[in-house]
Amino acid sequence: VIGQLLAEGVHWPAPVVINVQEIDSPFAGKTVVLTGSLSQMSRDDAKARLVAVGAKVAGSVSKKTDLVIAGEAAGSKLAKAQELGITVIDEAEMIRLLGA
């Protein structure tokens, strides 16, 4: 199948490897969870910006989570982060740390 695609002229770019150690960001190499409603940007935009600076964005809080970003009306993810002693910041702090 791949040979047929190549024969038809279909090409895709080579994957880009990012060395997280080279990214100068407080989010680099961290597992981050978003919770609640964000008011300054969409959740997808926040995820994209975090990934761009080397973060891994997870969907749920666990002992492997490094940081939780809590928007308005944050619920059970915030409670679990507090229970596990995970650092929690708000959206404004996330934006400040992203350098926006």
pLDDT in tens, 20-67: 555 688 999 999 999 999 999 999 999 999 999 999 999 999 999 999
- The CATH number given to 18-98 is 3.40.50.10190
What is the DSSP secondary structure assignment for residue 58, as one 8-state letter? E
For residues 72 and 69, what is the distance between their CA atoms, to the nearest angstrom?
10
For 2-73, list the strands marked E by DSSP.
31-35, 56-58, 67-70
Query: So where are the chain's domains?
Result: 18-98
Given a cut of 70, whether residue 17 has pLDDT beyond it is no
Question: Measured on CA atoms in the order 41, 84, 22, 92, is the torsion positive or negative?
Answer: positive
According to the model, what pLDDT value does residue 100 have? 54
Long-range pairs for 86-90: beta carbons < 8 A, 24 or more residues apart = 86/61
Cα separation, 57 vs 76, in Å, equals: 17
